[in-house]
Structures are given as C-alpha cells and as structure tokens.
Amino acid sequence: MTKVYTKTGDAGETSLVGGKRVSKADLRVVAFGDVDELNSLLGVARTFLTHQELDEVLGRIQNELFILGADLASPMDVFLRRIDERLVTDLEGLIDKFLAELEPLQEFILPSGSQAGAFLHLARTVARRAERSVVALAAENTINPQALIYLNRISDFLFVFARAVNRRAGIPETLANFSARKKQ
C-alpha cells in the first residue's frame, strides 16, 4: 500500500474485492466494517493480556477475522480464501478448551473483571452486532454460510475467553443482581 488516501471514496462509495463500486452504506460494507471494528477491539484487549498463550490465541482470531472481513467484502463469484468449516471447528475446540477451565455458570454474570476481560466482554457485544449485520446482508445477498456460523461462534468464544482471562487474572466473576426486581 503506497498511499493511504485515494480520493476514490470521497463521494461515499468504496470498492469491494473484485472491483465493484458500492455505497459505503451498503449492507456488505456495514458487515465487514463491523467485523473490522471487532478486530480492532480485540487488538485493544490484547494490550492488557499478561499470558503469552492468551495473546497468541487472540492474535490467531484477529487473523481469522481478516479472512472473514475479506470473505464478506467479496461477492461469491470472486475467488479468495474464505471462512471454512475447519476454522469453525477449530474455534469450537478453543471454546471447549477454555470452558473446561471454568466453573459452570448457574446465574448471569456482569460483563466486567480485568481490563482485558472487560474489553473482551465489550468485543462480544460488537461481535453480536456484526452478526446482526451479516444476517441482514444474507437476507439480500448470497454469502458464504460458514461466515455466519463462524461469527456466531466468535461471540460464544469471547464470552468464554473473557471469563478465562478473568479467572487467570484472579478476578472473581460478579453475579448479576436481580434482587431489586425480585422484591417487587
């Protein structure tokens, strides 16, 4: 990349992979923009991680989110690496691995904890928004079905991973307090 600015987007349009010009408000652009925001937020969370293993896991996820973003930015007739079933299965393996470290939840917890854990909980909500954007995109366009499955698993992963990060940091989970509502 020799130039950051090209001036080709000054009128509110951008190019998809393959060259097609679309509005920056296009559902495809919104979807891969939400994934980009998620990826950036994971970068913030990584700055607070103190365990190399956890940092490496998030780095891997960030690279996979680049694949996801390119997948969403590309009409299905454009050939490129896409999210596949193997990446989904690998992500499920990570969920199972970190879930095995945790006590089962009996109640809801508040999204909080260490700085890394809190940012991971925030990232989970951004992942859910990205998922809603991709669902809207899929309602009007043909997309890779594995992309939506992967994005759904990412939010599950981030919930479990935030809990594992907090546990490793020695920070107990805070249960949601429904007592005010229960008394009424």
Predicted confidence (pLDDT) per residue in 93-110, tens digit? 999 999 999 999 988 999
Q: Which of 2-6, 128-132, 145-149 has the lowest mean pLDDT?
A: 2-6
Residues 145-168 have a mean pLDDT of: 98
**Cα dihedral sign, 71-73-78-81:** negative
- Banded model confidence at residue 21, pLDDT cuts 50, 70, 90: confident
- Banded model confidence at residue 178, pLDDT cuts 50, 70, 90: confident
CATH classification code of 13-183:
1.20.1200.10
Q: How far apart are CA 130 and CA 37, in angstroms?
A: 9
Full DSSP string of 49-76: ---HHHHHHHHHHHHHHHHHHHHHTS-T
Task: Identify the DSSP state of 109.
Answer: B
- Would you say residue 76 has pLDDT above 90? no
Q: Which two tokens stand for residue 124?
A: 């989970």
The pLDDT mean for the chain works out to 92
CB-CB contact of 173 with 166 (8 Å):
yes
| Residue closest to 26 by CA, chosen among 9, 7, 3 | 9
- Per the model's pLDDT, the better-predicted residue between 183 and 29 turns out to be 29
Per cent of the chain over pLDDT 90 is: 76
| Residue closest to 103 by CA, chosen among 153, 50, 172, 53 | 172
- Would you say residue 20 has pLDDT above 90? no
Contacts of 76 (CB under 8 A, 6+ apart): 142, 143, 144
Q: What is the pTM of this model?
A: 0.90
**Mapping DSSP to helix (H, G, I), strand (E, B) and coil, where does residue 22 land?**
strand
Q: How far apart are CA 44 and CA 139, in angstroms?
A: 32
The pLDDT assigned to 179 comes to: 57
Residues 117-143 have a mean pLDDT of: 97
